[in-house]
Amino acid sequence: MTTLFISDLHLDPERPEITRLFGEFIEGEARGADALYILGDLFEAWVGDDDPSETGAFVASKLKALAGAGVPVAFIRGNRDFLLGEDYARRAGMAILPDPAVAMLYGTPTLLMHGDLLCTDDTAYQQFRVQTRDPRWQAQFLSQPLPARIAFAQQARAASAAHQSGLKDQGTMETITDVSPATVADTFRRYGIGRLIHGHTHRPAIHELDVEGRACQRVVLGDWYDQGSVLRVAPDGIRLDML
């Protein structure tokens, strides 16, 4: 009995070896899981469900087969694939969860997030997030021709890289792009749950915390840029590993 968690795969045609690794993971270990949760940034960029990319089609076919084999697949949108919609989710056989969402894992209620909502010290990103999550902005964006949307995504990636470069120059990269401890503590208080699993920061670790005298656990998933990363949750404990 094991439930698997992955995030931040950033699948992209420019990194086919990681896409192959994902396929092997889905056809291998994931087939024996109780469920698979993907906590955002499955793709490097997503400009709409009408994008006929080979990577998107490959991923949908693998996840659909997994769901067809009896393994439920759940997905939380990330900051790179927040436009992934219900049409693609149906093609992939997965359920889209809100961010955050609560899952009961072998008797333990667990809060699931992509993780970007916890990085409140990065005010520039949070402003961008509010803008791009507005349904009116999304409707206007998705109404544009596909080439225009692809060009926008490329510009957004360049702007993000420039923003992070600026933070490095200022010496604030490590703190600004990580979670805010105060926001993490407030999140535990608000939901009254002792375990949180998220991705986004690419800093895989299991943190044991004390929140107002209550033992809490924050699990950060790893990215898939150079290798795979998976969290295995079982009735007798959890394990965070590289693939």
Instruction: Enumerate domains of the chain plus CATH numbers.
Output: 3-242 (3.60.21.10)
| Confidence (pLDDT) at 152 | 87
Q: How far is Cα 21 from Cα 8, in angstroms, rounded to an integer?
A: 14
Which tokens in the block code for residue 140?
């206007």
Which tokens in the block code for residue 88?
């693609």
| Confidence (pLDDT) at 228 | 95
| Confidence (pLDDT) at 124 | 87
Q: Which residue has the tokens 């889209």?
A: 96
pLDDT tens, residue order, the chain (243 aa): 999 999 999 999 999 999 999 999 999 999 999 999 999 999 999 999 999 999 999 999 999 999 999 999 999 999 999 999 999 999 999 999 999 999 999 999 999 999 999 999 999 889 999 999 999 999 999 999 999 999 988 887 777 766 666 655 555 555 567 999 999 999 999 999 999 999 999 999 999 999 999 999 999 999 999 899 999 999 999 999 998
Distances (CA, A) of 141 to 46, 78, 148: 12, 17, 9
| Confidence (pLDDT) at 214 | 94
| Confidence (pLDDT) at 163 | 63
| Confidence (pLDDT) at 155 | 84
Q: How far is Cα 202 from Cα 8, in angstroms, rounded to an integer?
A: 8
Q: How far is Cα 142 from Cα 164, in angstroms, rounded to an integer?
A: 27
| Confidence (pLDDT) at 119 | 95
Of the CA atoms within 13 Å of residue 11, those in its CB half-sphere come to 23
Which tokens in the block code for residue 144?
């544009």
Q: How far is CA 21 from the centre of its chain?
A: 17
CA nearest neighbour of 85 among 72, 70, 73, 75: 75
| Confidence (pLDDT) at 169 | 52
Which tokens in the block code for residue 67?
């769901």
| Confidence (pLDDT) at 207 | 97
Which tokens in the block code for residue 233?
């949750």
Q: How far is Cα 223 from Cα 8, in angstroms, rounded to an integer?
A: 5
